Amino acid sequence: MLCIQEIYAQQQVSDELRAYNDYLLSLSCYKASGELNMAIGEKFMEGDIAGVRRLSAEREKLLMQSIDSVLAFRADAKKSEAAAQLVTRLVFNLGFENTGKVLNRFEPGFDPLCLQEVRQSLEKESKVRPGMPAADFKVFDREGKEYTLASFKGKYIFLEFSASWCSWCKKEIPSIRQAYERFKDSVVFITIHLDDNRDKWLKDLETHAVPWYCLTDLKAWKSPVAKAYNIAGVPDCFIIGKDGLIKAKELRREEITQQLEKLLAAGKGIQFRTGSFQDALQEAEATGKLIFLDGYTSWCAPCKMMNTTVFTDPEVGHFFNEHFINVKFDMEKGEGRELLKRYGMQVFPTYLLLDAAGNEVHRVVGGHDAGEFIRLIREGMDPENSIAGMQKRYETGDREADFLRRYITTLGGGYRFDKIPAVLDELCRKNGETVNEEDWQLIRRYLSDPSSYTFHFVAKHRELFTAYIAPEELEAWIQKVLYVPVFNTVNSLVFDEKEYDAGRFKTLRKDIKIVRPERKSYLLSILDYYDAFRMDKMDKVLSIFKKQFMSLPASDRWGLTMQLNAMLCAKGNKAQCEEGLHIFRQLFNPVDPILKNFENALNKRIGSL
């Protein structure tokens, strides 16, 4: 039976979820994504796989915009179970990379069951992404002969998963047969049937009489090979290279032939130079070409995907080999470590365009399909669109509003977040009270400094922005911009023992008083909380927690509770530690492992006094 607190917590989540859902349904981007569902279904029924992919990509962008809005709806959205539940429903139609990005949007340590389930699903999928080793299998043909992955070692493999009862699988047979006739001398074709009835399986083989390997273990969905390849439905398929690595997956119709063409032409992909970075600079000087630098790590899934599917694409190879000196470095080894520091790379993969002096011209971050990647790099070659070209234009005094918007967007795409605040301030100064919705979206996405001119402008002129965002949402955003640096500053002082910066605290207090957020007293209390700890006034620390924080929702109180435990363990006397235990026992379920950790830590402190 649920206790009163658990029932109350569930009701609170339910009420919050209703509010989040109502907000989601009001979003134009979410409505547009829903309208695409029917269009995608129609394209699929027509067999227009290219149309399905194109519309699915559009839907994915709209869903990511919807998720961005949901996570900005309230200040505590990134640690809200209601927001997490809603977002996990939306990720169903997202790809692997974007699903991972969404999970990383939530606060560290916040891990409700719904996020755990998505994370577990993503972990399974990560093992069968392009670039990963293909899993072994043990299956049999109709005569009972055993086959494993090693049976086809050193060969290209097209591996399909099907079943006798699957009508959609039959629609794929003509496309597979066409690919087989074209590539049978270079590629082994295999269909593994997820059946458990031998007679039905054999009848299906007789009906369709395909000329390639048809194998099974007659264990249907309980088959180890289905689990190893994370098969959630059929038809599904993989292309495996001679090296035993997965090269492509989830192909339909004409995509099968197209991907096999690319694979067999892989020798025409990007030709990366060996040698040192200095060698590349010298070659760039001699040829007049830019350097294309691939900054990767050994554990990065998008890096592996790009290396095995995009960099091997003949069209990509032709473009890059013609225009660049191509080099790649592991950012955790050898020269890569120095290049990592030199160019300030923070995420992987990061792709740089460099001139012969090693100056950065442009950067692109993350995994992309072949066409999009060429487009992004081609844009970076144009001084009108490159980061370096736009920076030069900015430094020479260009403050035209459309240019500033493009510059901010380009910096964001290259993860050059360090340069955005100053440009945002210039845009805000330029437009003043004529700011438009595009300006607001840039501010909302990239502004994080509560001391910036732009933030103070938004706070002073709230009425200008309520045309683009509901007043309560604007207040939630203002609260978040202030809360994050306040909380993180205190957190770093308590847990990382960073040196106290009186100027930083003074600035934060000033920002809070200027901006006048609805929860002004809450933010100032967090700073008072740390000041009391710094001055060894532990009774005041406990008093502030009980008066200001104890009655807050668990999501608002969580980090402050962790800080209180750390403060007491560092400076609390016996009576203060015992009072802390009393507080924690009121806040946590008796069987909560967090409570046990707090009790162990404080009892150890008491025992040492």
pLDDT in tens, 190-243: 999 999 999 999 999 999 999 999 999 999 999 999 999 999 999 999 999 988
At residue 382, the pLDDT reads: 93
Q: Quote the pLDDT of residue 15.
A: 78
pLDDT band for position 261 (cuts 50, 70, 90)? confident
529 shares its domain with 601: yes
Token pair recorded at residue 301 = 């899934």
Residue 295's pLDDT is what? 97
Strand order in the sheet with 213-215: 213-215, 187-193, 156-162, 236-240, 246-249
Residues 142 and 69 in one domain: no
Torsion, Cα of 390, 396, 401, 403 (10° steps): -20
- Cβ-based burial of 604 (10 A; exposed 0-12, middle 13-18, buried ≥19): exposed
Three-class DSSP category at 351: strand
Distances, alpha carbon 7 to alpha carbons 1, 114, 317, in Å? 10, 18, 59
Our CA angle for 237, 238, 241, nearest 5°, is 155
Q: Please, how many CA atoms are within 13 Å of residue 257, restricted to the half-sphere of its CB?
A: 14
Burial class (CB in 10 A: 0-12, 13-18, 19+), 495: exposed
Partners of 239 in the β-ladder: 158, 248
Q: Are 316 and 307 in contact (CB under 8 A)?
A: no
Task: Tell me: pLDDT of 8 over 60.
Answer: no
Q: How far apart are CA 506 and CA 567, in angstroms?
A: 22
Q: Is 237 helix (H, G, I), strand (E, B) or coil?
A: strand
> The domain containing residue 337 runs over which residues?
268-381
Question: Cβ atoms within 10 A of the Cβ of 432, count?
Answer: 10
486/484 Cα distance (integer angstroms): 6
Residue of 574, 524, 566, 568 lying closest to 542 (CA atoms): 568
Task: Tell me how far the alpha carbon of residue 343 is from its chain's centroid.
Answer: 22
Q: Both tokens of residue 427? A: 């845009």
**In the structure encoding, which two tokens stand for residue 69, read together?**
């809005």
User: 227 Cβ partners below 8 Å, 6+ apart?
Assistant: none
Report yes or no on 311 lying in a domain.
Answer: yes
How many C-beta neighbours within 10 Å does residue 109 have? 9
- Summarised one tens digit per residue, pLDDT across range 407-445 is 999 999 999 999 999 999 999 998 888 999 999 999 999
* Final residue in a domain of this structure, among 92, 126, 160: 126
How many residues make up the chain in this entry?
609
- Same domain, yes or no: 142 and 120: no
**Which among 185, 162, 186 has a CA at the least distance from the CA of 173?**
162
Is the pLDDT confidence value at 6 over 60? no
DSSP state for residue 549 in the 8-state scheme:
I
Of 208, 242, 264, the last residue of a domain is 264
3-state secondary structure 557-578: HHHHHHHHHHHHHHHCCHHHHH
Residue 503 placed within a domain: yes
Range list of β-strands (E), 71-215:
138-140, 146-148, 156-162, 187-193, 213-215
Instruction: Examine residue 358 and state whether it is found in any structural domain, yes or no.
Output: yes
Does residue 12 surpass a pLDDT of 70?
no
Q: What is the pLDDT of residue 598?
A: 92
Residues 255 and 303 in one domain: no
Residue 319, both tokens = 């473009």
Cα distance between residue 329 and residue 334, in whole Å: 8
How many independent structural domains does the chain possess? 4
Q: Report the C-alpha gap between 256 and 176 in whole angstroms.
A: 7
Q: What is the average pLDDT score of the chain?
A: 92
Phi (first) and psi of residue 161, to 5 degrees: -110, 130
Say if residue 54 is in the same domain as residue 177. Answer: no
What is the three-class DSSP state of 131?
A: coil
pLDDT at site 591: 83
Given a contact cutoff of 8 angstroms between Cβ atoms, the answer to whether 179 and 148 are in contact is no
Give a yes or no: residue 284 inside a domain.
yes
Q: How far apart are CA 410 and CA 420, in angstroms?
A: 10
Q: How confident is the model at residue 131 (pLDDT cuts 50, 70, 90)?
A: confident
- Quick count: other Cβ atoms within 10 Å of Cβ 547? 10
Residue 420 lies in a domain: no
pLDDT score at 593: 85
Judge if 157 and 80 occupy the same domain: no
pLDDT exceeds cutoff 80 at 2: no
Q: Angle CA(88)–CA(93)–CA(97) in degrees, nearest 5?
A: 80
Pairing of strands 350-354, 360-365: antiparallel
- Give phi and psi for 473, each to the nearest 5: -70, -40
**474 and 604 co-located in one domain:** yes
Residue with tokens 């977002």: 87
Per-residue pLDDT at 7 exceeds 50: no
pTM, two decimal places: 0.60
Instruction: Enumerate the β-bridge partners of residue 137.
Output: none
Same-domain pairing of 549 and 600: yes
User: Taking 90 as the threshold, does the pLDDT of residue 589 lie above it?
Assistant: no
CA distance 108 to 396: 41
Residues 509, 524, single domain; the answer is: yes
**pLDDT tier, 314 (very low <50, low <70, confident <90, very high otherwise):** confident
Q: Is the model's pLDDT at 1 over the cut of 70?
A: no
pLDDT score of 292 more than 80: yes
Give the whole-angstrom CA distance, residue 326 versus residue 289.
10
pLDDT of residue 290: 97
The predicted pLDDT at position 269 comes to: 86
* Share of the chain residues as helix, strand and coil, in percent rounded to the nearest 5: 65, 10, 25
Q: Kindly report, residue by residue over 49-85, the tens digit of the pLDDT.
A: 989 999 999 999 999 999 999 998 888 889 999 999 9
Name the amino acid, one letter, at 528: D
In a domain, 598, yes or no: yes
Runs of H (alpha helix) within 27-80? 28-46, 49-70
In a domain? residue 432: no
Surface-to-core class of residue 161, CB atoms within 10 Å of its CB (0-12 exposed, 13-18 middle, 19+ buried): buried
Q: 365, 381, 397: which is the final residue of a domain?
A: 381
Q: Quick one: 153 and 282 in the same domain?
A: no
Q: Which of 600, 520, 525, 523 shows the shortest CA–CA distance to 568?
A: 600
Cβ within 8 Å of residue 235, ≥6 positions away? 160, 161, 162, 166, 168, 169, 172, 252
Overall average pLDDT of the 266-290 stretch: 88
pLDDT exceeds 70 at position 11? no
Sign of CA dihedral 206, 210, 216, 219: negative
DSSP SS3 for 188: strand
Instruction: Tell me the CATH number at 151.
Output: 3.40.30.10
Q: Are residues 256 and 275 in the same domain?
A: no
> Could you report the per-residue pLDDT of 138-185, keeping only the tens digit for each?
999 999 999 999 999 989 999 999 999 999 999 999 999 999 999 998
Assess if residue 426 is contained within a domain: no
Residue 93 and residue 165 in one domain? no
Residue 386: CB atoms within 10 A of its CB come to: 21
Token pair, residue 208, equals 């369709």
